[in-house]
Each structure stands twice: as C-alpha cells, then as structure tokens.
Amino acid sequence: MKSVLVFDMDGVLAEVAGSYLAAISATVEHFTSKAVSNDLIAQYKKAGGWNSDWELSQKLIHDTAGIEVPYAEVVEVFQSHFLGPNNDGLITRETWIPGAGLLESLAERHTLAIFTGRPRAEVDITLMRFVPEVSWASIVADLDVPNAKPAPDGLLAIAATHPGGTLTYVGDNVDDARSARAAGVQFVGVTDGDASLGAILKREGAGAVVANVNELEGIV
C-alpha cells in the first residue's frame, strides 16, 4: 500500500501573501484605519492558535485598535476582499508553488491528499485553476470535521479512509505541526526560508523542514 502524503494548502501548495494575508490586512484596515504587516501576522501564526484567518483578523482588530467587532462582520468584510463579487478578488493573486510534474511524480509513490483550513469552495477554486488534472484521494476542508486545526480530526478522517497507510502531513505553521502530533502522524515543515519558523516547527515535532514543497522528493 502506498503511503499517504497530506498537504496543507496555504503557504505549501499556494502562495497566499497576495490573497489571504492581504485580505487579513485589508480587513483590519477596514475597521481600524491601520494596516498590519505580514511580519506581524507571521508572529501571531508562529504563536499557534490562529489557523483561522477570520479569527486572526478579529484578534488583530482588537489588539491594534481595542475594537470589538462581531465575528460575522469580520467574515463578511474579509470575504468581500478575498473572493470579490464574482470570485475575482484577492484570490486571483495566488500563485502555485509546486513545480511542473512534482505532484505527478510524488503520486507515483504516494497517495495524495489535502487537509486545509480553507472552506471547500475556496479549495475547489484554486485546485481547478492550477491543477485540474491532479487526482486527490481525500480532501478535508474547513467544516468537514467537527474540530479545526490544531485538533487532529482532519488527519484522522483521512487515515480512516486509508487503513494501513502511513501518513505524512506537510504544513507550514504551528497548528499544522500540533495537528500532526495529536494524530500521531509524521510531519514535514515548510518554512519559506524562515529559519526561526524552522526551529519552531522542529520543536513542535517536525521530522524534517524544507524551504518549499519542491524539496519534498528528497525526503519523503
């Protein structure tokens, strides 16, 4: 039986500085008139517990301006920036990280799956845009399981559909690492060249760290 290689999406498969991170900043600025930097967003992500960009946006609004904004309003503004009126918003700025042929090569030795905090509709938009030809054995998105990362629910759900298969999760933040540890699966951290993040992910249990997903073939 093939091992199962499970990918997070944001920062692993899709470059999201111009999409999700930009939507966080735009949402915070909408309510506070203050911009937040990607470095500040990264600090919160490294601390763990902020896998949801909606929740992080609400937290940053509070921390930068002392304003309490209802969660539903935060989500509405965030989505207006991210998706736009016709899926033509910031999501169109995303780029695809895996090089040509990488996923097909990995699929020769591994079953490919995705576990992401994205809503399913946003998963589908990006996959159809960049890799409509790639077959994913399992996709677990936001709300597909009772508890989001860092809970292990998504990885356990994938494991249940591949009994006997060894799982490796590839992610880029603390909550990904904690989810893998809670599920008892191997974890590979993706750092985008951030040495401090690499050290954090190793402390959280990463068996290996790579700068980006294109370095995977040498270690899995």
3-15+95-218, which class in CATH? alpha beta
Residues of the chain by 3-state class (helix, strand, coil), percent to 5: 45, 15, 35
Angle at Cα 180 formed by Cα 174 and Cα 185, nearest 5°? 150
Q: CATH 3.40.50.1000 spans which residues of the chain?
A: 3-15+95-218
Task: Please list the pLDDT of the chain residue by residue as tens digits (220 residues).
Answer: 679 999 999 999 999 999 999 999 999 999 999 989 999 999 999 998 998 999 999 999 999 999 999 999 999 999 999 999 999 999 999 999 999 999 999 999 999 999 999 999 999 999 999 999 999 999 999 999 999 999 999 999 999 999 888 999 999 999 999 999 999 999 999 999 999 999 999 999 999 999 999 999 888 8
Q: Where are the beta strands (DSSP E) in 43-105?
A: 95-96
C-alpha 133 chain-centroid distance: 21
If phi > 0 it is left, if psi is from -120 to 50 it is alpha, else beta; for residue 147 that is beta
